[in-house]
Amino acid sequence: MSRPSQARGWLGGGPSFYESVGAGYTRTRKADPRLEAAIYTALGDARTVVNVGAGAGAYEPRDREVVAVEPAAVMRAQRPTTAAPVIDAKAESLPFADGAFDASMAVLSDHHWADHERGIAELLRVARRRAVLFTWDPARVLDAWLIRDYLPTFADLIPAGARLRDTARAMGDAEIRVVPIPHDCRDGFLHAFWRRPHAYLDPEVQGGISVFARLDPAVVAEALERLRRDLHEGAWHGRNREILDLSELDLGYRLLIADLG
pLDDT digits (tens, 9 = 90+) for 125-161: 999 999 999 999 999 999 999 999 999 999 998 877 7
The average pLDDT across 158-181 equals 92
Is the confidence at residue 12, as pLDDT, over 70?
A: no
Q: Residue 6's pLDDT is what?
A: 47
What pLDDT shows up at residue 115? 92
Beta bridge partners of 69: 52, 87
- pLDDT at residue 86 greater than cutoff 80: yes
Q: How many CB atoms neighbour CB 231 within 10 A? A: 15
Average confidence score pLDDT of the chain:
91
Predicted local confidence at residue 21, as pLDDT:
54
Sorting pLDDT into bands at 50, 70 and 90, what band is 22? very low
pTM to 2 decimal places: 0.90
Q: What tens digit of pLDDT does each residue of 205-233 get?
A: 999 998 998 899 999 999 999 999 999 99
Q: State yes or no: pLDDT of 20 exceeds 60.
A: no
In one letter, which amino acid is 80? P
147 by DSSP, 3-state: which? Answer: helix
- Strand, helix or coil for residue 134: strand
Mean per-residue pLDDT, 111-124: 94
Query: Does residue 106 surpass a pLDDT of 70?
Result: yes
d(CA 256, CA 237): 33
Query: pLDDT tens-digit profile of 30-53?
Result: 999 999 999 999 999 999 999 999
Q: Rounded distance, CA 148 to CA 137, Å?
A: 15
DSSP 152: G
CA distance 205 to 73: 21
What mean pLDDT do residues 107-115 have?
A: 92
Quickly state the pLDDT bin for 5 (edges 50, 70, 90).
Answer: very low
16-25, 114-123, 198-207: segment of lowest average pLDDT: 16-25
Element (H, E) at 229: helix 217-233
Give the integer Cα–Cα distance in Å for 114 and 2: 17
In this structure, the strands spanning 175-178 and 65-69 are: unpaired
Give me the amino acid identity at 46: A
The residues, ordered by sequence, that sit 6+ positions from 249 with a Cβ below 8 Å of its Cβ are 180, 181, 183, 194, 195, 243
CA angle at 214 for the pair 200 and 8, rounded to the nearest 5°: 125
The pLDDT score that the predictor gives to residue 23 is 54
- Note the pLDDT of residue 108: 95
Q: What are phi and psi of 25, to 5 degrees?
A: -55, -45
Please tell me the distance from the alpha carbon of residue 169 to that of residue 165, in angstroms, as a whole number. 6
Give me the mean pLDDT over the 176-184 stretch.
98
> Residues near 90 by Cβ (< 8 Å), separated by ≥ 6?
14, 15, 69, 71, 113, 114
Domains and CATH numbers, the chain: 14-259 (3.40.50.150)
Is 38 in contact with 23 (CB distance < 8 Å)? no
Question: Please, which pLDDT band fits residue 24 given cuts at 50, 70 and 90?
Answer: low
CA distance 132 to 103: 8
The mean pLDDT value for 190-195 works out to 98
